[in-house]
Amino acid sequence: MSELERSFVVGSTEVPLLEHTIGEQLDRSAARWGEREALVSAHQGVRLSYQALKERVDAYAAGMLALGLERGDRLGIWSHNNWEWLVTQLATARIGVILVNINPAYRRSELTFALNKVGCKALISMPAFKTSDYVDIIQSIAPELADSEPGRLQAAKVPELRLVATLGEQHHSGMLRFVDLPDHARQQHVDQLGRIAGELDCNDAINIQFTSGTTGSPKGATLTHRNILNNGFFVGETIRLTEADRLCVPVPLYHCFGMVMGNLACLTHGSCVVYPSEAFEPEAVLRTVAAERCTGLYGVPTMFNAELAHPDFQTFDLGSLRTGIMAGSPCPVEVMKRVINEMNMGEVTIAYGMTETSPVSFQSSATDPVERRVSTVGRVHPHLEVKVVDDAGNIVAPGEPGELCTRGYSVMQGYWGDAEKTAEVIDAEGWMHTGDLGVIDEQGYCSIIGRIKDMVIRGGENIYPREVEDFFYTHPAVEDVQVVGVPDSRYGEELCAWVRLRSGAKATEEELREFARGEIAHHKIPRYIRIVDEFPMTVTGKIQKFLIREQMVEELGLDGDKNA
């Protein structure tokens, strides 16, 4: 790539975009790699070849048709990782039904909101997980199930919901068992599958994912076959997946990381996707990688941290690993180095993106120098354009910070049923305004500084928390660190750092502050430091910085209105 004169990059177009549907991709993959393993769900003891996966998907797709689901209907899935999730993803795509990903952390009000926001006609749910009774939550929202014929629900609180199916063996009043769905199909529905395939378009909406609702109600990012199939494909190309690879996916399937970068990257390359457990468990990941001889592993930084910190880490044979992706939140340099050196992931890459862009826009290459892979998120993905702009919308010079804007095949159709919110983030020229602060250097490598709303302004100085976090990761006692801004009457804002120490390590708040003196500018040294055992996190492993800030505002008795 030639040196940039401004922060504007365009991805390669050498490899063409895929212009077919996810269902057509399944047919192609089964024809090409039929006998190869497509899926291993380790915790369920399930193994499916590509041919077996196609047959199972078709059986469930026909069953869905028999139960009255039609092209354009919305079907919610409320579950952790399992074979049923993948089959549902592919079966809905096969018949043009829009899959709605529902976070397993959602409870009664959030589930009601999600079902009504997009008008779900059907819901597939796990019955329970740990202390959460999902069937009980559904019954509390739709008590009419008790007297309803399965598939004919009419509920006051969720008026468009007709069908509820649960995973597992148990029967529940008014609900179907997921395992029984294929039994409803007749030959006419099997025949219908072939006709539907010719009617679908790769530009049809096929997936809705709710973005986090930390600043209001969640919004439903609406994605097409073309959006997510191509993004999965190019992610797989970047980590050099082939039919010989086995990719361990402990990240949630209800998020783009799992269902696009995991499932669809494997589907387009004939690779085997491996689920180690329902929800993330570090020991299950290590055990599964060793037992299944996985060649790739995904995770957010907190997941890799937990694996590296496992007391029996050294006893697991991870010699089969070569690649993977660390993404989902800023990737600390020190964690990246340990993953490369201690987990044998010499070709691990960093990826950056957001749900609204399917998700990946930047990714480092397996052949990038290690220093580039630990300090940047790589270069722009194929067939995408990205620019960095200032507050006035002008493209900045290389090396200057600004907001990242993305344009191309990956940008969502919009937020479901919300033209106003869509217009706030996608401008008239098709640019998605990410809200992320980034820098693109003269070679086209991008570094993420943080969120615009996370930037701290102390006494007129712009401070990027990521920079301060990266510094503290170099302290030998620090396992993880998160930096936020809190209100201050004199400077406007001051820095606050929450620090989690390595197992057995010791350090005081003042020792950490002293460690920074003379190493970073004085205004970047946090005024407040707290040693903590854990951070508030979403189930996807993302740190909820706004909760850290709220807690500190309350603890310190500060004016919480400033920059709230």
Domain boundaries, the chain: 51-200, 219-416+429-451, 461-556
Residue 495's DSSP bridge partners are 485
Mean pLDDT of 170-198: 96
Please list, in sequence order, all residues whose beta carbon lies within 8 angstroms of the beta carbon of residue 536, skipping any fewer than 6 positions away: 543, 544, 547, 548
Place of tokens 């480092």: 364
Q: Is 452 helix (H, G, I), strand (E, B) or coil?
A: helix
Query: Strands 163-166 and 120-125, how do they pair?
Result: parallel
- Report d(CA 364, CA 384) in Å as an integer: 15
Give the residue among 339, 378, 338 at the shortest CA–CA distance from 474. 338
SS3 content of the chain, % helix, strand, coil (to 5): 35, 25, 40
Mean pLDDT of 71-100: 98
pLDDT (tens digit per residue) in 87-102:
999 999 999 999 999 9
Mean pLDDT of 29-55: 98
Q: Which residue has the higher pLDDT, 417 or 449?
A: 417
Computed from CA positions of residues 194, 198, 199, 203, in that sequence, does the dihedral angle turn out positive or negative?
A: positive
pLDDT score recorded for residue 330:
66
pLDDT mean across residues, the chain: 93
Q: Which fold has domain 219-416+429-451?
A: Rossmann fold (3.40.50)
Residue 208's DSSP bridge partners are 100, 222
Position 561 pLDDT exceeds 50 = no
pLDDT score recorded for residue 214:
37
- Lowest-confidence range among 402-416, 454-468, 526-540? 454-468
- Lowest-confidence range among 122-126, 151-155, 194-198, 270-274? 194-198
Q: Can you give the pTM of this predicted structure?
A: 0.87
Mean pLDDT of 246-255: 96
Position 349 pLDDT exceeds 60 = yes
The superfamily CATH assigns to domain 461-556 is: ANL, C-terminal domain (3.30.300.30)
Mean pLDDT of 111-134: 96
Angle between helix axes 83-95 and 187-199 (nearest 10 degrees) is 70
Q: Which residue type does 325 have? A: I
- CB contact at 8 A, 499 and 472: yes
Please list, in sequence order, all residues whose beta carbon lies within 8 angstroms of the beta carbon of residue 564, skipping any fewer than 6 positions away: none
DSSP code of residue 150: T
- Split at pLDDT 50, 70, 90, the class of 514 is very high
pLDDT score recorded for residue 213:
43
Position 217 pLDDT exceeds 80 = no
- Split at pLDDT 50, 70, 90, the class of 1 is very low
- Report d(CA 515, CA 511) in Å as an integer: 6
pLDDT (tens digit per residue) in 278-336:
999 999 999 999 999 999 999 988 899 999 999 999 999 999 999 999 987 667 778 88
Position 2 pLDDT exceeds 90 = no
Two tokens at 283? 């020991």
Mark residue 150 as left, alpha or beta (left: phi above 0; alpha: psi -120 to 50; beta: remaining): beta
Domains 51-200 and 461-556 share a fold: no
Q: Which residue type does 530 have? A: R
Containing 499, the helix (H) or strand (E) segment is strand 492-501
Mean pLDDT of 220-239: 98
Two tokens at 57? 């998907």
Two tokens at 432? 């998605």
Query: Strands 446-451 and 432-440, how do they pair?
Result: antiparallel
Give the residue among 238, 243, 402 at the shortest CA–CA distance from 327. 238
Position 179 pLDDT exceeds 90 = yes
pLDDT score recorded for residue 518:
86
Mean pLDDT of 42-56: 98
pLDDT score recorded for residue 455:
83
- Lowest-confidence range among 83-92, 114-123, 538-547? 538-547
Two tokens at 257? 């990381």
Q: Which fold has domain 51-200?
A: Rossmann fold (3.40.50)
Mean pLDDT of 525-534: 96
Q: How far is CA 505 from CA 83, 256, 336, 531, in A?
A: 40, 35, 20, 12
Two tokens at 49? 């070849």
